Structures are given as C-alpha cells and as structure tokens.
C-alpha cells in the first residue's frame, strides 16, 4: 500500500482531499513563502507548492511515500501578488483592488516521490461585485479573511461577492481536485 501524505496545515486542503476519498496522513512542512526578486506569480506558486511537498518528503522515512504540497496566491487585476493579509489595512488594500473587477487565483499542486516531481498550476478567474468600505470592514470582523490569500474565502461569506468564476472552484478553496487525482495516480503508479 502506497502511503500518501499531505504536507499542509490548511484545514481546507485536508477536507478537499478527504472529499475525493483519498486516505492520507498530515505532515507539517513550514517553509519561507517570501517571493524571490523578480519572480513571477506562476514561478512563485509552483516553487512554493514544490518546496512544501519536498519539505514534507524529507520528514518521512518510507521509500515509496507520495507527498502532496499546494500553494494558493491571488493575483490582483493590476498583477500584484496577494498572499495572506498582515492586518486590516492590508486586507482593505487587497479587497479594494478586487472590488468590481476580475482577478486570478493560482493554486499550484506538487506531488513528489523520492524519484520524481509532478506539478501543475491551476489558474481560475474570479469576478467580484463592488465592495464598499463598510462591507470590507464588516467582512474583516468575521475573521474569515485573516488566514486566506487575497483576504477572502470563496467557500464562506465572500461567496456572495463572486458574480462570475471561470476555472476550478476547488482550486480557489485550496486544492484542485481533478488535477490532484490525475497527478496522484501518476505518482502512485510510479512507486508500485
């Protein structure tokens, strides 16, 4: 039996992976998420997902382990990378940029074994309605934006701000389920 691990602290990723019937263990793989100078959003998100998966693999001893890592960033309509907000002012800045406009959510997935790395970046276009200053302040008070890239959670209160989505809903929440199944199957086949 191939042992599958999810290198993530995110409760959303755990729930999404459970949703598709995968049996797995959780490992802690904290990495430095600071972008390199001149790094593009695409390069950043794939590098971080891969580093999380590799850091997870380094913590387990079984030779045939398969480890999943993932990272989500929001890319504003102006092309700025939004991770998790530092504070209310940061969340205000992000949500004002997303208001009444379309942004991209990039979730990269990396599946690693001792021999190989598979990775994929899933890009979803999300359109928001107008967010007033009062709406943003009230939303911050819910606590929902605090630990989420771009200062929102589509699966929560912010679902009511989204008037259009093109791409993968599960990727926006934190793990692209179709792509996860595809890459996991490749990795599992390779170790058996």
Ligand X SMILES: Cc1cn([C@H]2C[C@H](O)[C@@H](COP(=O)(O)OP(=O)(O)OP(=O)(O)O)O2)c(=O)[nH]c1=O
As annotated, the active-site residues are 71
Q: Which is nearer to ligand X, 47 or 148 (CB)?
A: 148
| HSE value, Cβ hemisphere, 13 Å, CA-based, for 78 | 10
In whole angstroms, give the CA distance from residue 184 to residue 39. Answer: 27
Q: Which is nearer to ligand X, 14 or 188 (CB)?
A: 14
How many other CB atoms are found less than 10 A from the CB of residue 3?
A: 15
Token pair listed for 44: 């950043």
Q: Which is nearer to ligand X, 167 or 190 (CB)?
A: 167
Least Å distance between CB 72 and ligand X?
A: 4
Q: Which is nearer to ligand X, 65 or 154 (CB)?
A: 154
Q: Which three-class secondary structure state does DSSP give residue 184?
A: helix
Least Å distance between CB 47 and ligand X?
A: 12
Backbone φ and ψ of 62, nearest 5°: -65, 135
- Identify the sign of the CA torsion 137, 143, 148, 152: negative
Q: Which residues of the shown chain bind ligand X in the complex (CB under 6 A)?
A: 8-10, 12-13, 52, 70-72, 74, 84, 105, 148-150, 152-155, 172-174
Q: Which residue is nearest to ligand X (CB)?
A: 8
Q: Which is nearer to ligand X, 72 or 180 (CB)?
A: 72
Contact (CB, 8 A) for 100 and 131: yes
Query: Nearest 10 degrees: CA dihedral of 28, 75, 168, 122?
Result: -70
Least Å distance between CB 105 and ligand X?
A: 5
Least Å distance between CB 173 and ligand X?
A: 5
Tokens 């019937």 -> residue: 21
Token pair listed for 26: 């959780």
Least Å distance between CB 192 and ligand X?
A: 26
């Amino acid at each position: 039996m191939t042992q599958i691990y999810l290198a993530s602290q995110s409760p959303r990723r755990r729930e999404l992976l459970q949703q598709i019937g995968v049996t797995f263990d959780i490992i802690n793989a904290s990495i430095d998420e600071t972008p390199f100078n001149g790094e593009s959003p695409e390069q950043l998100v794939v590098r971080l997902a891969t580093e999380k998966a590799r850091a997870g693999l380094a913590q387990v001893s079984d030779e045939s382990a398969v480890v999943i890592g993932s990272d989500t960033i929001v890319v504003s309509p102006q092309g700025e990378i939004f991770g998790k907000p530092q504070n209310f002012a940061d969340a205000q800045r992000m949500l004002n940029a997303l208001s009444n406009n379309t942004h991209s959510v990039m979730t990269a997935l990396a599946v690693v074994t001792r021999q190989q790395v598979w990775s994929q970046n899933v890009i979803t276009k999300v359109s928001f309605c107008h967010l007033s200053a009062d709406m943003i302040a009230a939303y911050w008070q819910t606590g929902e934006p605090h630990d989420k890239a771009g200062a929102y959670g589509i699966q929560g209160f912010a679902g009511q701000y989204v008037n259009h989505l093109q791409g993968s809903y599960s990727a926006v929440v934190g793990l692209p389920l179709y792509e996860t199944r595809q890459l996991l199957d490749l990795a599992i086949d390779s170790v058996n």
